[in-house]
Amino acid sequence: MAISLAPLPYSDNALDPHISDRTISFHYGKHHAAYVNNLNGLIEGTGLADASLDQIIAAAGPGGLYNNAAQVWNHTFYWNSMHPTGGGDPSGDLAAAIDASFGSVDAFKQQFAADSIGNFGSGWTWLVREADGLAIVKTNDADTPIKHGQTPLLTIDVWEHAYYLDYQNARPAYVETFIEKLLNWEFAATNFADSANA
């Protein structure tokens, strides 16, 4: 069972003007697709050939197999962490959990922005659910929280290819736009509710 490239949850130009269809064409159509192709090449003819993506990530040690599998997972999650009419504030149980863990939604946004901007080099910044509440975690390169027993609720990709065509080296502008215009709180709320029932 080959791993497939999950379709985008919106059209290539749906995030304009915040993220251009040109960025999507490179980021999704080339980077994400390449991770899928590389992963399928690595698992072909092995005991993981029929495994799910989550099973591959769980079984993989450091190296190419893990990097490609985790990047497939991370990117699929990232596309869903954005929405053309995103931004604003969460509500309901998720908002209450954010208030409990960070003091307020605004305090969360400030910390998430600071951590995303300060995430050195290539990587990801995540809102995750842990045993004792919510936390912001940063992962380097391809690493993913699901390998470490954390439940992701949303993520931002801070590899340069995620924003360079639209923002050049202005990562802070990309991060601010992601939070204020694109962040998919409904997706995060669904993940939060699912994690409570897991």
Whether residue 5 lies inside any domain: the answer is: no
Domain that holds residue 127: 92-197
Cα–Cα distance, 187 to 14 (Å, whole number): 17
CATH number at residue 171: 3.55.40.20
CA quadruple 50, 51, 53, 57: dihedral sign: negative
Whether residue 12 lies inside any domain: the answer is: no
Whether residue 1 lies inside any domain: the answer is: no
Cα–Cα distance, 150 to 127 (Å, whole number): 10
Q: Are residues 146 and 182 in the same domain?
A: yes
pTM for this predicted structure? 0.96
Whether residue 4 lies inside any domain: the answer is: no
Whether residue 152 lies inside any domain: the answer is: yes
In tens, the pLDDT along 35-84 reads 999 999 999 999 999 999 999 999 999 999 999 999 999 999 999 999 99
Q: Which of 149, 126, 123, 146 is nearest to 137 (CA)?
A: 126
Whether residue 3 lies inside any domain: the answer is: no
Which residue type does 106 have?
D
Helix (H, G, I), strand (E, B), or coil: what is residue 103?
Answer: coil
H or E element that contains 125: strand 123-130
Report the side by side order of strands in the sheet with 151-157: 133-140, 123-130, 151-157
- Token readout for 59 is 């079984």
Which residue type does 45 have?
G
Q: How far separated are the first and last CA of the chain, in Å rounded?
A: 26
Whether residue 15 lies inside any domain: the answer is: no
Q: Are residues 192 and 105 in the same domain?
A: yes
CATH number at residue 60: 1.10.287.990
Domain count within the chain: 2
In tens, the pLDDT along 141-189 reads 999 999 999 999 999 999 999 999 999 999 999 999 999 999 999 999 9
